[in-house]
Structure 1
Amino acid sequence: MTATADPSTTPAEARALALDSLGVHPAGREGRFDRITRLAQKLFGVEIAAVTVVDADTQWVKSAQGLDIPYVPLEDTFCRVTLAAPAEQTVIEDARADDRFADSPFVRGDPHVRFYAGHPLTTSSGVRVGTLCLIDPAPRGFGPVESAMLAELADWAEAVLRRTSEMERAAQVQQALLPQAGSIDVPGYEVVGTCVPAHAVGGDLFDWYRVGDDGADVAMTLGDVMGKGIGAALLMATVRSALRTAGRELPPGAAVRDAAVALEADLERTGTLVTLCHARLTPATGQLTWADAGHGLMLLVRSDGGVTRPPAGGLPLGTLPDDRWSEHVAELASGDAVVVFSDGLLDLYPTLDAALADVARGVREVPPGGLVEYVDRVTRRARCSALADDVTMVVVRRCP
């Protein structure tokens, strides 16, 4: 939802509210606008092209070609007219001949502005928060063709402004769908997870929730939707919903099949595959039952030092329309752990073997009650890396 200023607010207050709702910090250059200003400078053959945003009383330069200053007091700018004028664009073909600007310090001195064209940048709620402007020391004409080109570039700049807000909101929603720290308490067990998307949003998911007639068992899922970005994130939410619906009533193998049937049309239309591991833990006995759909990144880490990597099970969801997934069973004894992770974690290591060995060692050497700290270390390492893929991990350990 876009924040809308109260009708009683001043234009300056409305701009501040709008910038805040977009998640835009006025100060500082932003490279995401550089392609626009570079193209504008070359396309129009001007000395200066800039994208700016304006708060209460200052115009901040977010990207500029031919201009080094970080900000200008709004009262000294040409763009104040662009923001206030009813017209869609403000064009000044010769500033020396314009009474509004003839005495401006930027006309009389550096950068000796003669020509100016500005197009306002507007939020979806209609608040003008900045400009795309062209500046040159020589007077010139500016016809309908040039005006249309400037409008198209301004539309691009507006889309970049708005996309940041939308992506940040999408990231917030996606994180809200993931289990939060401490959201499930399983007496006698540590249950910890993390998900670090490679971009603002990603296609990995992990989930856990109570199941069974008495809610004594715990269902857990880790999945990886093929692809990245918003598309993968949308499908991730759909996969999560389908598995939650099936997983509450059915054992793992049947739950995966039910979810696959429900998702079949969506996955076929989008040409998407989903690998996942879906498990059910019975805490009273330590029995872990799971079905693997082409995931294959699971380790059983025993307290006696043994490590087993169960083989990948069936095919990913979306491969065959009538596939079935078999179930596997293991028992977690005192001190034993199960670790499931996405293939993005492998990118943090030079080889697959190095990744498996380090994960197994890290889980085994963590003292009782220390899994949160271990997973936090993995999270920090992922966030400090140039990720090409999402990094997701779930660890469950039976307390000694």
Structure 2
Amino acid sequence: MTAETAPAAETPGPDAAAADQRADDVRRRDALDRLGLLGTGAEERFDRITRLASREFGVDLALINLVGEDALHAKSQPVGVDFGTTPFGTAFCEHTVRQPGMLEITDAAADARWSQLPAVTEHGMRFYAGVPLRVETGEAVATLCLYGQEPRTLDDDERGLLGRLGQWAQAELRTDDTAADEQDAADASAPDAETDTVPGPRGQARVSTLAIPFGTVSGDASAWAEIDGTLVVSLVDVMGKGEAAGAIARAVVADLQSHGAVDPAEALRRAEQAVGARLRDSDSFTTVFHAVLDLGTGELRYVDAGHGLTMHLGADGRGTRLYSRNLPLGLVSDGDEWEVGRLAVGHGDVLVSVSDGALDAYDSTLDSLRRLGEELLGSRDPGAFFDALAERVAAQLVDDDVTAVVIAVS
């Protein structure tokens, strides 16, 4: 008996490889078209990721690019910069989407594969690191990328951080499922607004909440409690909509509130222990604003976990946005410490925190938060402000849950 040798697998020739790449480009184009993001303007849900990336890595540019069939389309970029649409052959991201993972280039000027790209020769970029962002069907349709004018090599911790930021950006690439949205809109619950007054040692606080679910169940949740002269407030916005996101949102808020007036960083640490595995198992995460306000001293301590949509409106009319470098709950790595912010809140001051769906009632950018603050100050009545916001949400056909919490100290 003689043994037969299996024929060697044939290596695709250049024509076959080109045909495969062309087919991949078409699939990516079709997937990108389904998202409905081409031709849309800036959105805070993407911009907050690139702002954080730029700050954490100290790079010249942090971008989210949509990658089409033959061109890049800048979706998130620094204020004052407009890269618009860039044809293939000028930068790196067209190569990133063709890789299974991160593309890192230490010094493009010293590498013949990249040294003649306009990003290098015209803009002086030498360092690049980018991760592909994929839709649920697997096509890589975008990138989160870093550019620097100095050669650089990321360490393992930095690669891990860029990967987690990429997870965040990837989750924001929400598929434009018109049929599902129409059904959710048909099932939408009516706005639910409540106001309560909490007495304190030096006055009182008026707490008002608004919930406008996109569908029967909201993926946002908020709660507050008064504990021995201290106000404990939580607002969470889980990635996604519907019952699954709603169940996680309620679990996170319940856990945060169960710890009372403990230090906000400790409350987030305990919440991570309680629900972190559930978030990771469901491939989800949540932004969080959790605060403890001492009604006697006016000291506010808070943790902002990827939220960035809270404003302190002073009695003098000036507004300050509260934010931090924390990642959302569910994306933090083991050993990460929660950064705590502190603020003095005086008589006549107002705090307002909203989920990102509220921004879509305006122009979806961070400037929407400023406009929200101005309208709240103009009304000085949370009830009237909520009515106006609900009208905007209905008029703009906002396809996301909207939640708001207002605390007025007097």
Give the structure-1-normalised TM-score: 0.51
Residues in 2 aligned to 1:225 and 1:268: alpha-carbon distance in whole angstroms: 12
Shift of 1:351: 4.8
| Aligned-CA RMSD value | 2.6
- 2:267 maps to 255
Shift of 1:191: 1.3
Describe the superposition over 1:133-179 as per-residue Cα deviations: whole angstroms up to 9, x where unpaired: xxxxxxxxxxxxxxxxxxxxxxxxxxxxxx99xx89xx79xx9xx98
**Unpaired runs of at least 5, structure 1:** 1-162
Within the alignment, does 1:302 sit opposite 2:314 as a pair? yes
- 1:132 maps to none
Shift of 1:312: 3.1
Aligned pairs for 1:387-398 within 5 A: 387-398=398-409
Equivalent of residue 332 in structure 1, options 345, 362, 371: 345
> Counterpart of 1:312 in 2: which secondary structure?
coil
> Counterpart of 1:182 in 2: which secondary structure?
strand
Residues in 1 aligned to 2:371 and 2:193: alpha-carbon distance in whole angstroms: 25
Residues in 2 aligned to 1:311 and 1:249: alpha-carbon distance in whole angstroms: 20
Residues in 2 aligned to 1:259 and 1:353: alpha-carbon distance in whole angstroms: 28
Residues in 2 aligned to 1:353 and 1:263: alpha-carbon distance in whole angstroms: 29
Residues in 2 aligned to 1:272 and 1:351: alpha-carbon distance in whole angstroms: 22
Change (3 A) 1:236 1:285: same
State the AA in 2 paired with 1:202: S
State the AA in 1 paired with 2:320: T
- 2:393 maps to 382
Residues in 2 aligned to 1:219 and 1:289: alpha-carbon distance in whole angstroms: 10
Equivalent of residue 242 in structure 2, options 221, 229, 232: 229
Aligned partners of 1:184 and 1:209 also within 8 Å: no
Deviating runs (4+, > 4 A) in structure 1? Answer: 183-187
Within the alignment, does 1:181 sit opposite 2:195 as a pair? yes
Residues in 1 aligned to 2:193 and 2:393: alpha-carbon distance in whole angstroms: 19
Aligned partners of 1:276 and 1:295 also within 8 Å: yes
State the AA in 2 paired with 1:304: D
> Counterpart of 2:291 in 1: which secondary structure?
strand
Residues in 1 aligned to 2:348 and 2:198: alpha-carbon distance in whole angstroms: 19
> Counterpart of 2:398 in 1: which secondary structure?
coil
Shift of 1:257: 1.1
**Unpaired runs of at least 5, structure 2:** 1-182
> Counterpart of 1:350 in 2: which secondary structure?
coil
Aligned partners of 1:291 and 1:313 also within 8 Å: no
Equivalent of residue 331 in structure 2, options 319, 326, 331: 319
- Greater CA deviation, 254-263 or 358-367? 358-367
Paired residues in the alignment total 223
Equivalent of residue 243 in structure 1, options 234, 252, 256: 256
Aligned partners of 1:196 and 1:383 also within 8 Å: no
- 1:108 maps to none
State the AA in 2 paired with 1:331: A
Within the alignment, does 1:204 sit opposite 2:220 as a pair? yes
- 2:301 maps to 289
- 2:164 maps to none
Change (3 A) 1:304 1:377: same
Aligned partners of 2:232 and 2:261 also within 8 Å: no
> Counterpart of 2:363 in 1: which secondary structure?
coil
State the AA in 2 paired with 1:265: A
Residues in 1 aligned to 2:263 and 2:303: alpha-carbon distance in whole angstroms: 9
